[in-house]
A and B are shown apart, each in its own frame.
Chain A
Amino acid sequence: MSKFKKDDSSGSPAISTASLPDIVFMLLFFFMVTTVMREVDLKIEIKKPEAEAITKLEKKSLVDYIYIGPATMRYRSMYGTEPRIQLDDQIATQATDVGPFVIRKRTERNETDIPFVTTSLKVDEKTRMGIVSRVKHELRQVDALKINYSTTRKRVQP
């Protein structure tokens, strides 16, 4: 029986996939170069406001992040819909946690880098300023004075 007989006579030859690895590797390197490791698991929703006159934060290693926004659907039963502060992977239970968070981050860094550290506030655009002012106040208490209001670049209206 020749059930698996090769049918060479008809049809076009198979497309060579020899260059496929090369293409995929190229993609891989592209992504490796253009992206950075994800920092945290966000438990809150953030839609950043738009702005034009913005600066890029150059050195990622010199930036701490504080997230403010309403909890995502998954955590809403636990934290409600009011804006919350997230530090690292956790939602802060009180605003005074911000100071110790900054200090803990400082101990992880090189001493000479500490004056150059920026604290980037990633805040949902619908948040009221009260909570942001509270965080700013806490940052002042621990002398973390360089801050960044994280925004997205404004799209030009046609």
Chain B
Amino acid sequence: MAKRKLEEINAGSMADIAFLLLIFFLVTTTMDTDEGIVRSLPQKLPPDYKMEVEINERDVFEVNLNSNDQLLVESDYIQIGELKGKIREFLTNPYNSENLPLMEEITVERARQEIANRKQLIDNPKTPAASLGVIKSELSDWEDKLAAAEKVGPFRTLPKLAIISLRNDNGTSYKGYVEVQDQMQSAINELRNEWSQKVYGENFTDWNSSNDSDKEKIKVIRAIVPQRIAEQEPKNIPAY
């Protein structure tokens, strides 16, 4: 049988095809991955809602941002650069100052006790159904604190009602607002990183919440350094 010579397939147009595909993807896709400062808004309140709990003045850290992007923090005018330090001070109260929140001492025994109390309340049929939600969320808070205390030993943390309250004006620029949010977040991140370095030798900000092995660690650090920023809604929001 005569051997037919195999002809080579011409691959010259391959490059053209690939280029076409490449250009298609270049045009239809974007590189930009979204990143930013994540916050959660307060729940919407019923119109007749009245605040029942009394909050100590020392437990609230007030940050006001006016329409000229000037900062008023706890009735002092400060520069944006000073904000981070002030927030750190509020979150840790290192010198037990009377103007800053009274830190709570969390121990394993205390956490166990609180969890037992909450569980009893939940099992008790006399507990009003309306308060069950609150009790359950407190229970899971304490469970996280227990896990943290078991991991790091007794620690000091912010009391439950302490918050950073951020209020802006309708004329505040978005840039200024984000700058303030950024400073707050970096103060919290710094504290969290210090703890995570101490406990795990890693940075909190390097962990990924979708990674199962990091989840537990994130919970522990969050229980020690909570992030409590309340964005107050300004009055008379303009119509669009």
A residues adjacent to B (C-beta < 8 A): 17-18, 20-21, 24-25, 27-28, 31-32, 34-39, 49, 51-60, 63, 65, 85, 92, 94-95, 118, 120, 122-134, 136-137, 139-141, 143-153
Establish whether residues B171 and A128, one from each chain, have CB atoms under 8 Å apart when the complex forms. Answer: yes
Chain A contacts for B210, CB-based, 8 A: 58-59
Nearest opposing residue in chain B for A132, CB measure: B174
Chain A contacts for B174, CB-based, 8 A: 49, 123-129, 132
Given contacts A35-B29, A57-B33, A127-B173, contact A151 B178 (CB under 8 A): yes
B residues adjacent to A (C-beta < 8 A): 11-12, 14-15, 17-19, 21-22, 25-26, 28-31, 33-44, 168-175, 177-179, 181-182, 185-186, 188-189, 205, 208-210, 231, 233-234, 237-240
Establish whether residues A129 and B33, one from each chain, have CB atoms under 8 Å apart when the complex forms. Answer: no
Classify the interface of chain B: helix, strand, loop or mixed. Answer: mixed
Chain B contacts for A37, CB-based, 8 A: 28-30
Distance between Cα atoms of A129 and B18 in the complex (Å) = 47
Given contacts A21-B18, A126-B175, A129-B173, contact A58 B240 (CB under 8 A): no
Nearest opposing residue in chain A for B170, CB measure: A130
> Which residue of B42, B44, B170, B178 is within 8 Å of A128 (Cβ)?
B170
Distance between Cα atoms of A152 and B35 in the complex (Å) = 7
Distance between Cα atoms of A148 and B185 in the complex (Å) = 13
Chain A contacts for B44, CB-based, 8 A: 140-141, 143
Chain B contacts for A65, CB-based, 8 A: 34
